[in-house]
Amino acid sequence: MSAPQPRSGRRARAVRRWRSGLVALTVALAAAVAVPNGPAVAATATLSPTSLSFGSVKVWTSKSLVETVTVNRGYRVSSVSHSPAGPFQATTASNCGAPSVTVSTKCTITEVFQPGAAVVSSSSLKIVVCPILAGACTTYPVPVTGTGVFPATFSLTSIAFGTHAAGVPQLKTLTVTPDAGRWVADAVPTGRVGYLSPFTVSGFGAGCYQVGPVRCALTLSYNGNDVGPQGDTLVVSVCREEGVCLDKSLPMTGTSTAPGSLSPTSLAFGTTIHVGATVSKVITLKILGDWHVGLLFGANTPYSLTPLSDCSGPGPQTCTFTASYRPVAVGATKASLSMDLCAPVPPWWSGSTACVGTNQVALSGTAVAPGSLNVTSLAMGTVRVGARATKYVAVRHDPGWYPSAGFSDPSGDFNAGECVTSASPCSLPVNFDPTRTGAQTGLLTVTLCNDELALCVDLPKVKVTGTGS
């Protein structure tokens, strides 16, 4: 039996054993991460799957997927993170904290997608694997994608009202079915409000404002206030609790045509209408909606428009007008007329009124003089100087008109008298009183006037010739 050793000797032997163990562990770890007679191992872990796709997930709910990391011996999962974070979260299981220096280990990562909006989200799950001892770490990116789905279903993804006359409301029903525990809180167009907006939500069904899944029927109205295509966006708000809501935008479209029309689309009043005479034809206005007549455009002299029926109130209604043509001069005239139809306004409204024009009606007419002459030229013959020759021109004229005559060349030796009667035709004397010898020419102008109409019209000029001897 050997003698007892001093305490200092036992302590020295314990230190030597600890150092030997540390060296052995270091050697074992080095052996675990090295390939005999070869380069260092490039991959420190394998991932399954290599990407995570959550598909479609309802907003305010969540879905989980598992990512399994098989870590090589001597390595461990150091951290997990997202870039960007977005609506994704990751947690590691307890087995991720038990690395081994002798065998591969598995690390389970639970990835959770909890969308807060109905959009496509993507991120990168970054898994960092490091050696148990000092050394370089490796980051493994795992692509993560998911699509948030609105927490309600809609019977329509867009609301198209088609083409209709302005002032004639068109209705459509939109059914919204919120998910369990959700409800429809509101539905409003984002464009103009009040009576100026062509799109309105005119009714909320019994299922609206109730916690789902209960169908909410929304009655949508389109009443065009201008001609042409129009659009707006309907915003439907669905909530899970007070103040926590999500909006869904739905496009609304509609096209308006004129709220009324005039017929016929053209009026020809004739080609031989006497100046001062009146020819009338009937125009019909058909108002399809609740609009009313505003202004009249284009019915200027020699055309006019007079209502035959009361058209002052709102439509729908059919009105008739007399379109009249009373020419004031000889020749052809063309014009067009249309009417302005205006939308109804509430009595408190002080702003502008929405108005649009109807189709145009083409007007045409040709006027002739209200009388005629029986000659286009007049030969007075040869007359001795100091003598007189007289011939007569028959002047036909409409009732209410009277003739007057004169020569456009006052230096000539021709002159005209007056008709001795107001009857038609009347005989207008034309005189030749030569004061010199030789041939002379003059132009006789006969003018017809109507004092009641305040109109005068020149008849075609007559060439008058004569020779003084």
| pLDDT of the residue at 1 | 41
The residue segments making up the domain with residue 126 are: 45-149
Within a domain: 359: yes
DSSP state at residue 31 = H
The better pLDDT of the pair 88, 41 is held by: 88
E strands, 242-330, are 244-257, 260-263, 266-268, 273-274, 279-287, 292-297, 303-307, 317-325
Cβ(437)–Cβ(419) below 8 Å? no
- Asked if the model's pLDDT at residue 328 lies above 60, the reply is yes
Note the pLDDT tens digit of each residue in 255-287. Answer: 999 899 999 999 999 999 999 999 999 999 999
Contact 185, 130 (CB under 8 A): no
Q: Which of 122-136, 197-211, 267-281, 453-467 has the lowest mean pLDDT?
A: 197-211
| Domain-located, residue 29 | no
Q: Count the domains in the chain.
A: 4
Neighbours of 305 (CB within 10 A): 16
**3-state SS, residue 201:** strand
| Lowest mean pLDDT segment, chosen from 54-68, 267-281, 294-308, 388-402 | 294-308
Residue 37 Rama label (left phi>0; alpha psi -120 to 50; beta): left
Task: Indicate whether this model's pTM tops 0.75.
Answer: no
Q: What are the strands of the beta sheet with 389-397, ordered from one edge? A: 371-373, 389-397, 426-432, 414-416
> Which tops the pLDDT comparison, 297 or 224?
224
**What pLDDT, on the 0 to 100 scale, is given for residue 197?**
79
Task: Identify whether 292 is part of a domain.
Answer: yes
Q: Are 207 and 217 in contact (CB under 8 A)?
A: yes
The reported pLDDT for the residue numbered 309 is: 84
What is the reported pLDDT for 350? 76
Residues 266 and 364 in one domain: yes
Based on its alpha-carbon atoms, the radius of gyration of the chain, rounded to whole angstroms, reads 51
Instruction: Determine the 3-state secondary structure of 182 from DSSP.
Output: coil
pLDDT digits (tens, 9 = 90+) for 397-443: 999 999 999 997 766 799 999 988 888 999 999 999 999 999 999 99
Does residue 375 share a domain with residue 362? no
Burial class (CB in 10 A: 0-12, 13-18, 19+), 324: middle
Residues 388 and 290 in one domain: no
Residues 246 and 277 in one domain: no
CATH code of the domain containing 74: 2.60.40.10
H/E element, 415: strand 414-416
Q: Please give the pLDDT value at position 312.
A: 83
